[in-house]
Amino acid sequence: MEMMDEKARILQLRDELHQHNYRYYVENNPVISDQEFDFMMRELQDLEAKHPEMFDPNSPSQRVGSDLNNEFETVAHTRPMLSLGNTYNREEVADFWQRVSEGLMGAPFQICCELKFDGLSISLHYEEGRLVRAVTRGDGVQGDDVTANVRTIRSIPLQLPKGGDWPRQFEIRGEVLMPWSSFDRLNAEREKAGEPLFANPRNAASGTLKSKNSSTVAQRGLDAYLYYLLGDGIPGDGHYQNLEAAARWGFQVSKNMRLVDTLEGVFEYIDYWDKERKNLPVATDGVVLKVNSLAQQKSLGMTAKSPRWAIAYKFQAEQAETTLRQVVFQVGRTGAVTPVANMDPVQLAGTQVRRATLHNADVMASLDLHVGDRVLVEKGGEIIPKIVGKADPPTSFRGSDEQCSIKFVEYCPVCGSKLVRYEGEAAHYCPNDTGCPPLILGRIEHFISRKAMNITSLGPETVDDYYRQGLIHDAADLYSLTPTISKGEGASAVAFTPPLEGKGEAKVLASIEESKQVPFERVLFAIGIRFVGEIAAKTLARYYGSMDKVMEASKESLMQINGIGEVIADSVVQYFANPVNRAFVERLRSYGLQMEIGEQQKQARSDKLDGQSIVISGVFQHHSRDEYKALIEQHGGKNVGSISNKTSFILAGDNMGPAKLEKAQKLGIRIMNEDEFLNLIDSLSS
């Protein structure tokens, strides 16, 4: 085959495979066999290997993803992704209908009824019919660019059919989710490998889409349904009709949408899907109701948090009855002990449930459970199913009360330490944070987290792996993973002490080395003193200035600090009273971590913003949000998350949230851009 013919064949194969992919994954109506599809794909891969200059990230051959590590970039949304108002009762649905009617001054309107898919919101951007960017919802103003991962989802078109009437540029939003079949298969694989199970398909989809390796995403079988088309030049005024057009272009749009023009029609739709949703291949948790006309949507406008032209009706959580067989007690990474019920398997919300949470000792006592009780299990928006009560009669399978009564444990089921319950806490905790494996792992994961030491190349699975191998026993051991150079036969080879295996060793070591420059206040946060959060750590660091002074601080001294109460003061004193913790800190010091406030920080400090409460909003050009927060605190200001009449001013970047802007204008609060703020800081510092 001549070179030009091969290049033409590549383009032809791509077009045909895109079409077959759509017929198989969206229409569920393949016209060729799997073997024929595989032969065409292999031919395309062979030709692309011969012609690397023809590389296209939207080629069907790229659906398998890459093993390269993806660092997600934060991207501002072109239009904010607002959340919907929720309701669980029909009266509020009727109120919504009435508000729409009044807002449109009695003009006729239609409501588009749609299923509410339980997944992760996504924004897809297309230019000239090609997928160019995929962004998660994030905080509604900005999200993570997950384009490489989304390209592996086979129901999302990478290239729209030629000759379509789609606009040159447009955005389409929807939900990335994990079908029940993929969820069950994934959890079966994780259980076999001894890995923790995903609690529900939503968590599995979210965790998968944020995976750093797109090849992992490709293997897990995600799906997507699209439900909102935006942009200039979209087909028409009707939301329902625009989605019909999107379906013609190759997008997977739910076939279960319905247009209604009466409130009775809305209730019929809700009642039907409240029962029928159990037969769907994906998780749904409600119905979304939208005014169909885009012009009417614009006329109705937005509230501070959500559109006035749409509402989500959430289904009541589904319940099932089963028999309680055993209660086990799990120790989490914070030391919290959670009772978990093992039950006879029961079908609930599309999946088979064998375990359910009992939350804590108080909940257990209120339920008065015994082995053999018939119990009611509920699964709605919870992370895992929960037992909500006993069936009637509850005691049909009980033996003697003494044998079957279930009591909360007094001692840690892992290390045997006597459990404690802190004032104001519902949970019981294992206090042995230097000797109980789940707590040790929790401390290491906290230590490496972004707001602590920011060791980005390590994750929980890698930490678990290093711990199981005996490479690390606490967070300080990470700094012993240093390379040594040995030479042989004229070449240098790198070995590790202790030895590391697998991919990414160089990245891990580089990230660990970089963490030695993390400022003292974050080191103090990272060492994991109970109740000492990010703000308290900053307060202590700036008051005392060094780790040595914090270590020697008395309870009385600590309680003199504004914002440090008795609970935190006691915890700090108790932490440093433990010789194991002192030795841990000294080891960190020996590895070169920052143990006092730097000279630059000392010189930069002032009280010129003292007493001022400042809100940060938007996307910035000169510095990150965290850097601006640090500048505010250096000059005595206070970072706050919400606007009130106590707010001094707003530091605003691009794409400031519309709700915040509206509230600021209403309260007459000054909005300052970053150049004005930097000039203010410079003038204060001079």
Helix-, strand-, coil-residue percentages of the chain, each rounded to 5: 40, 25, 40
Taking the C-alpha atoms of residue 24 and residue 32, their distance in angstroms, rounded to an integer, is 9
Place of tokens 């194991």: 580
State the Rg of the chain over Cα: 29
Question: What is the token pair recorded at 568?
Answer: 């935190």
611-622 as b/e: b if 16+ CB within 10 A: ebbbbbbbbbee
- Is position 116 annotated as part of the catalytic site? yes
Among the options 50, 116, 507, 608, which is catalytic? 116
Q: How far apart are CA 621 and CA 624, in angstroms?
A: 8
**Beta strands 310-314 and 374-379: pairing type?**
unpaired
Residue 509: CB atoms within 10 Å: 19
- CB distance 163 to 269 below 8 Å: no
Report how far residue 397's alpha carbon sits from residue 393's, in angstroms, rounded to the nearest whole number.
10
- CA-to-CA distance for 256 and 58, rounded, in angstroms? 29
CA distances from 482 to 453, 478, 530, 593 (A): 17, 9, 30, 15
Phi, psi of 327 (to 5 degrees): -120, 125
Burial class (CB in 10 A: 0-12, 13-18, 19+), 651: buried
Q: Which residues lie across from 302 on neighbouring strands? A: 307
For residues 174 and 224, is the Cβ–Cβ distance under 8 A? yes
Query: Helical H runs in 368-459?
Result: 401-404, 437-448
| CA distance linking residue 166 with residue 424, whole number of Å | 57
Distance CA 143, CA 331 (A): 33
Whole-number Å distance between alpha carbons of 124 and 104: 31
DSSP, collapsed to helix, strand or coil, labels residue 111 as strand
Cis-peptide, bond into residue 60, ω within 30° of zero = no
Residue in the block written with tokens 């307060």 = 539
Burial class (CB in 10 A: 0-12, 13-18, 19+), 508: buried
Tally of CB atoms within 10 A around 604: 14
Q: What are phi and psi of 41, to 5 degrees?
A: -65, -40
User: Cis link prior to 52 (omega < 30° from 0)?
Assistant: no
Under a CB-based contact definition with an 8 Å cutoff, are residues 257 and 114 in contact?
yes
The answer to whether the CB of 619 falls within 8 A of the CB of 653 is yes
Which residues lie below 8 Å from residue 402, measured CB to CB, with a gap of 6+?
none
Backbone angles phi, psi at 175, to 5 degrees: -130, 125
387 and 323 in contact (C-beta within 8 Å)?
no
Active centre residues (catalytic):
116
